[in-house]
Structure 1
Amino acid sequence: MDEFDEDAFNKFFPSSFGKQSKSVDVDSQIDRSKRVDISVAKLESNKPTTATEPTGSGDEKKDSNDDSDNDSSDDSDDDDDEFPVSHELVLKSHERAVTSMTVDPSGARLITGSTDCTLKLHDFASMTPSTLRAFKSVDPSAQKSSAAQDTHPVNFVAFNALSPSHVLAIPATSKPRILSRDGEVLTEFVKGDPYLRDLHLTKGHVSEVTCGAWSPSNLNLCATAGTDSTIRIWDANSGRSQKEVIVHKSRAAGSAGRTKITAIAWGSPKQGGADILVGAALDGSLAMWGGNGPYTRPSGEIKDAHARDTWTSGLDISSDGRLVITRGGDDTIKLWDTRKFKTPVTTVTHASTSSRYPTSNIQFSPSSANVITGSETGHLHILNPATLRPELVTPVTPGSPLITVLWHEKLNQILTGSANAETHVLYNPTMSTKGAATVMSKAPKLRHVDDVIMTTDLSQGLSGDSVVVGSNGVPHYSSSTWSSRHPEVGLTASGRSRDPRRPYQPAQTPFSKTNPDDKHIRDNIPLSSRLDEDPREALLKYAEKAEKDPIYTRAYKETQPTAIFAELSDEEEKGPEKKKPRR
């Protein structure tokens, strides 16, 4: 007789009956998000060429390059532990290129802006591996008083580090806005008078605003810069007029003293010290002011920081306030020292994407130990700030330009936005906390049987029109293509909300619970006996009573004359009067 296999028997017959809870293998779920191609060979990648080389002989440089050739494969294995890029989470919330993004200081909420003219709000706490989507879509350029919605691409969006409930949103208009963390408009900055030549006298920007920044030391102040050659400092609680106006006077020939401000950065040393406000312009200049004023003239200015008429899209200040990094449209990245603000410390060659995507940025890591930026080929470049040579080049969206990057300090995760409308969250399960690591450690959300039509393929969704709620709370409709790519808006076929945070509330009607008979309807539903009554007959039966005893016209009964009508027989019919012939 065969031996009794107790393990197989216990596996076949459950130990209990009823609804069984399925355990989730978190490790295998995280392993599925592991990236295959972490790094590429540094010499084969889009490697910058140093313009200002460090001191040393040519033989030493050659030897160092040879060493990098031999050790490139060994370094790529160590990069997984050094940088949080081993795993990734992909969000497909937008239709077009992702141009800007921001995460609140706690790392709980992510807001992304795009050229599809919308802001997408994501909560890491409400997302699961099967529900990677935004819970709200906001149009930051929607007008409160206008019924026609004019939409504009999003140039900049940023949480206030000192007050996470405020978000600075800059669409491609002359009126930036302060939004709440839920996308509601708190303050709208006014547009200035375009007919005033002196820009000091206008109450706001007179043309498109390109970039902005929050004050690192005052939670109520923010700065915006635009194509009107001004940087304006605002009080976030009042949008009727700015507090300070910095008019940048261009020295380039033929510019008439005006140029476009392409990027600004407002930084403060973590160990304490004076704030620094830096701005880059289209004429190639780079200017620096004291963050607390006065703003009458810059404390340092470089006339030819980058090539003239090239868009310097990337600008950032290190955490100690001593270094400034710029990424110009002349295919260069330059490092500047604020204490010797005349010539760059280091210059390297790096292909620019600002001609197609003016919001391409560059950023220091939270500790300023590295510099991150994207490339035209869709690779993420992690650079050494001393030499600006790549320490890691990893493909994120190969073939699609990488536009915006963000390294969050608390999460220790790198977020990227690409031209193919994808947002990638790079993380490491051992180094990163919360954010994408929390999402991938959750069990996939169980879906209702009626949601199969929508959830079979999340990229297709349901056809038909959907509703987008503007920042002013006014919904407006869009095409079915938008609806198919935004499954978080509207209802499913069964009437359930697509918002993962909103519970299902069925519509309650008198006939929803039972099918009552006629007696129950007559006894419990008022005026149910008049359902089959003709309303004309119901009114005419009171005609005689109204004529004998008028309630509302009784005061005029004695004063109104009696109407006299001509009496006509049934055979006579009064025809139209004939016109007299003209003599």
Structure 2
Amino acid sequence: MQRGKISFGKIQLSINQSLDGPNAGANEKVNDSGSSGVGGFKKMDKQQMIRQIEDVAEDFESQHLKEVMGISGFGRKAAQVFDINEQIAKAKITHPVVEKKREVPEQEQEDVIGPLPPAALEDTERHNSDEATNKVKDSDDESTSDEDSDDEQSLSKRIPYTHEVQMQHGSRAVLALAGDPSGARLVSGSIDYDMCFWDFVGMDSSMRSFRQLQPCENHPIRALQYSVTGEMILVISGNAQAKVLDRDGFEKLECCKGDQYISDMSRTKGHVAQLTSGCWHPFNREQFLTAALDGTLRIWQGLKAKEQVQVIKTRAMGGLRTNASSCNFNRDATLIAAGCVDGSIQTWDTRKMFVNTTHCVRGAHQKGSEITSIVFSYMGLQLATRSNDETMKLWDLRQFKQPLHTWSNLYSRYDSTDCCFSPDDRLLVTGESLPKNQAEANLYFYSTKTFQEVQRTPVSNSHVVKTLWHPKLNQLFVSCGNGTIKCLYDEKRSIRGATLCVVKTHRKRQQMEMVGVSQIITPHALPLFRQEKSRSSRKKMEKARMDPVKSKRPDLPITSGQGGRVASSGGTLSSYVIRNLGLSKRVDDDQDPREAILKYAKDAAENPYWIAPAYKDTQPKAIFSEKLPTDRDEPPIKKPMTEADN
């Protein structure tokens, strides 16, 4: 490659370290051979200058390629951190059009022609590297400070409550609520025995359920939960027998009932009292846990099981029996926790025998008030309990003797009021029942780190019973005491679920248009052209009823014969045999035999042939006794007794 002749012009750069005499600020002319005047640069040949310029150009190309491709550390001098554009701007020989990235004061903006000396390059690179390091430190400090402020201030922004959709279950309180793990369906159970299925993909803006049934006859639905695969639903009712339904509501299993006359509850095959709570195994799709008022928790395995697999007994302070009002598995199924009526929290390790408890906190809540909900966090290190003593407590499993925090003044009227964690475990959510002097019931959001109230959202003018924060949909489902289900969501943070239904407009049924035909009455018209009179629907139905073809009248029953209808052979076996053998003519089995005989009576009296001629002369005359007409009230005349009778 041939290069043209390179000439260097006037240099206006004051660098003390690179100059040799007292004439440091003088302008020197550099000739083509690279020699300098008095106090000029060090001697540099033409090849070195060309090499330096090529290096600068290559650095600029590599920097541009790095910015385009997004590759850090690209090029020959990628280890050094400096602004190559600023150096090229100073050396405007090869690229005089490039703009400076760093703003330079006006007194320093002087035209620099020619390559920079090595000392100046080192100073510039050092200065640029220091600036880049400071920028990185500043950005790190800003990001950490932003994260710290984001932790405290953005918790309320994470709550999906900007929009609201209402679903009507019925007129009574909705006690149970469960969501499909995939977020496609929702089921709800009420105190009026009904269970509704909601499909977000098939619903429109009217928000109507596609199926409603009563799985447990006359028992309220207390708890519902989908299995880990979403194929089956566990139904906990006021009955002693839990049921398992499939996704469409068809029954797959009904747990057997135990013998209530056996005092040892471990000897029975099932619960003998009303169920209070139940849940599925976190990763075993055929195992579930139930709790009842008989003082036991039972583990069931399989859909064809005749009895439970394990029986866990809850004990009070003195070893007496106490009932469990709520139960749950932790995320890895190593612990089973139960909240009891006596206010205690008891846990068992599933890898050991269920004889002794792993954790037992007596007096966790007020004695005699049910612990309505016990929930593990997603990380598995914390436990939240909700009770009817108007409190909610947060526990740490590593220090399980005392609660981390207690929230009070949370009025609860139902024994199924629950609480739940947010998907990131930063928030704890619960609802309250409607007090007397309050217009609306609220939904409370508390921070699990600072224990402060983050948000208070009014939901309904009735009680708040169940709260479900779906982790995949990022939507809140709240069941109320007036039979409604509220869905809270955020357009930016929530996906699928209720957002699919809102955009679908509800289409009304098309009204059928009836065209009335005017009837012309022509009384003197011919029968061929005469129109039939318009009759009411009732008269038309009565007329069609009289027609055996239109009414599809069945065959009339046979009045004579035995053994049912025989097609054309009569009603008896003998007539059937005679007709088939051809020994007689057609026999009318439907005719009365008395009428058939009396038909020949007159002919037999006038023309006797068999019996009468033989006994004509000797046959006595028949004398029939005639009964004298007497009163009905008179007794019959007795025959007088004679001597012969004696």
Q: TM-score, normalised by structure 2?
A: 0.57
CA 581–225 in structure 1, closer or farther in 2 if over 3 Å, else same? farther
Residue 275 of structure 1, aligned match among 327, 334, 341: 334
Query: Aligned equivalents of 2:401 and 2:154: distance in 1?
Result: 37
Counterpart position of 1:318: 377
Q: Kindly indicate whether residue 224 of structure 2 is the aligned counterpart of residue 157 of structure 1.
A: yes
Cα displacement string for residues 218-269 of structure 1 (whole angstroms, at most 9, x for unaligned residues): 22110000111100000141341000000112225xxx81222111111125
CA 220–579 in structure 1, closer or farther in 2 if over 3 Å, else same? farther
Gaps in structure 2 of 5+ consecutive residues = 1-150, 435-440, 514-546, 561-565, 579-592, 602-623, 639-646
CA contact under 8 A between 2:417 and 2:465: conserved in structure 1?
Answer: yes
Q: Kindly indicate whether residue 353 of structure 2 is the aligned counterpart of residue 294 of structure 1.
A: yes
CA 539–312 in structure 1, closer or farther in 2 if over 3 Å, else same? closer
Counterpart position of 1:182: 248
Cα displacement string for residues 371-413 of structure 1 (whole angstroms, at most 9, x for unaligned residues): 111012321111111343321100010x311110000011000
Structure 1 position 293, deviation (Å): 4.0
Counterpart position of 2:212: 137
Q: Which has the higher contact order (CA 8 A, sep 6+)?
A: 1
Q: Kindly indicate whether residue 490 of structure 2 is the aligned counterpart of residue 428 of structure 1.
A: yes
Aligned partner of residue 81 in structure 1, secondary structure: helix
Query: Aligned equivalents of 1:226 and 1:443: distance in 2?
Result: 45
Query: Aligned equivalents of 2:158 and 2:282: distance in 1?
Result: 28
Query: Aligned equivalents of 1:528 and 1:284: distance in 2?
Result: 75
Structure 1 position 531, deviation (Å): 8.2
Q: Kindly indicate whether residue 483 of structure 2 is the aligned counterpart of residue 445 of structure 1.
A: no
CA contact under 8 A between 2:388 and 2:415: conserved in structure 1?
Answer: no
Counterpart position of 1:167: 233
CA contact under 8 A between 1:263 and 1:280: conserved in structure 2?
Answer: yes
CA contact under 8 A between 1:177 and 1:187: conserved in structure 2?
Answer: yes
CA 411–552 in structure 1, closer or farther in 2 if over 3 Å, else same? same
CA 552–293 in structure 1, closer or farther in 2 if over 3 Å, else same? farther
Q: Kindly indicate whether residue 470 of structure 2 is the aligned counterpart of residue 408 of structure 1.
A: yes
Query: Aligned equivalents of 1:191 and 1:361: distance in 2?
Result: 27
Counterpart position of 1:389: 452
Query: Aligned equivalents of 1:239 and 1:408: distance in 2?
Result: 31
Residue 311 of structure 2, aligned match among 245, 248, 251: 245
Aligned partner of residue 208 in structure 2, secondary structure: coil
Is 339-348 or 82-91 further displaced after alignment? 339-348
Counterpart position of 1:263: 326
CA 580–380 in structure 1, closer or farther in 2 if over 3 Å, else same? farther
Q: AA paired with 1:553? A: L
Counterpart position of 1:207: 273
CA contact under 8 A between 1:86 and 1:428: conserved in structure 2?
Answer: yes
Structure 1 position 563, deviation (Å): 9.3
Counterpart position of 1:113: 189
CA 326–549 in structure 1, closer or farther in 2 if over 3 Å, else same? closer
Aligned partner of residue 360 in structure 2, secondary structure: strand
Query: Aligned equivalents of 2:367 and 2:491: distance in 1?
Result: 45
Q: Which entry has the higher C-alpha Rg, 1 or 2?
A: 2
CA contact under 8 A between 1:374 and 1:403: conserved in structure 2?
Answer: yes
Counterpart position of 1:33: none
CA 572–335 in structure 1, closer or farther in 2 if over 3 Å, else same? farther
CA 103–539 in structure 1, closer or farther in 2 if over 3 Å, else same? same
Q: How does 1:74-93 map to 2 (within 5 A)?
A: 81-93=157-169
Query: Aligned equivalents of 2:252 and 2:628: distance in 1?
Result: 72
Q: TM-score, normalised by structure 1?
A: 0.63
Q: How does 1:190-205 map to 2 (within 5 A)?
A: 190-205=256-271
CA 529–153 in structure 1, closer or farther in 2 if over 3 Å, else same? closer
CA 578–169 in structure 1, closer or farther in 2 if over 3 Å, else same? farther
Counterpart position of 1:59: none
Query: Aligned equivalents of 1:407 and 1:123: distance in 2?
Result: 17
Query: Aligned equivalents of 1:104 and 1:317: distance in 2?
Result: 19
Cα displacement string for residues 140-183 of structure 1 (whole angstroms, at most 9, x for unaligned residues): 213xxxxxxxx11111000012x211100011110000001111
Structure 1 position 445, deviation (Å): 2.3
Structure 1 position 351, deviation (Å): 2.0
Q: AA paired with 2:314? A: H
CA 552–425 in structure 1, closer or farther in 2 if over 3 Å, else same? same
Q: Kindly indicate whether residue 357 of structure 2 is the aligned counterpart of residue 357 of structure 1.
A: no
Aligned partner of residue 403 in structure 1, secondary structure: strand
CA 527–218 in structure 1, closer or farther in 2 if over 3 Å, else same? same
Query: Aligned equivalents of 1:336 and 1:442: distance in 2?
Result: 44
Residue 389 of structure 2, aligned match among 330, 348, 373: 330
Aligned partner of residue 262 in structure 1, secondary structure: strand
Counterpart position of 2:430: 373
Q: How does 1:218-233 map to 2 (within 5 A)?
A: 218-233=284-299
Structure 1 position 346, deviation (Å): 1.4
CA contact under 8 A between 1:346 and 1:387: conserved in structure 2?
Answer: no
Structure 1 position 529, deviation (Å): 11
Cα displacement string for residues 480-524 of structure 1 (whole angstroms, at most 9, x for unaligned residues): xxxxxxxxxxxxxxxxxxxxxxxxxxxxxxxxxxxxxxxxxxxxx
Query: Aligned equivalents of 2:278 and 2:628: distance in 1?
Result: 82
CA 445–579 in structure 1, closer or farther in 2 if over 3 Å, else same? farther
Residue 573 of structure 2, aligned match among 545, 553, 566: 553
Root mean square deviation, CA, Å: 3.9
Structure 1 position 326, deviation (Å): 0.5
Counterpart position of 2:126: none
Query: Aligned equivalents of 1:574 and 1:365: distance in 2?
Result: 106
Identical counterparts, % of pairs: 28
Counterpart position of 2:127: none
Query: Aligned equivalents of 1:529 and 1:311: distance in 2?
Result: 66
Aligned partner of residue 279 in structure 1, secondary structure: strand
Structure 1 position 360, deviation (Å): 0.4
CA 249–531 in structure 1, closer or farther in 2 if over 3 Å, else same? closer
Q: AA paired with 1:362? A: C
Query: Aligned equivalents of 2:378 and 2:272: distance in 1?
Result: 33
Aligned partner of residue 265 in structure 2, secondary structure: coil
Query: Aligned equivalents of 1:324 and 1:192: distance in 2?
Result: 32
Between the two proteins, the alignment pairs up a number of residues equal to 403
Q: AA paired with 1:241? A: E
Structure 1 position 556, deviation (Å): 11
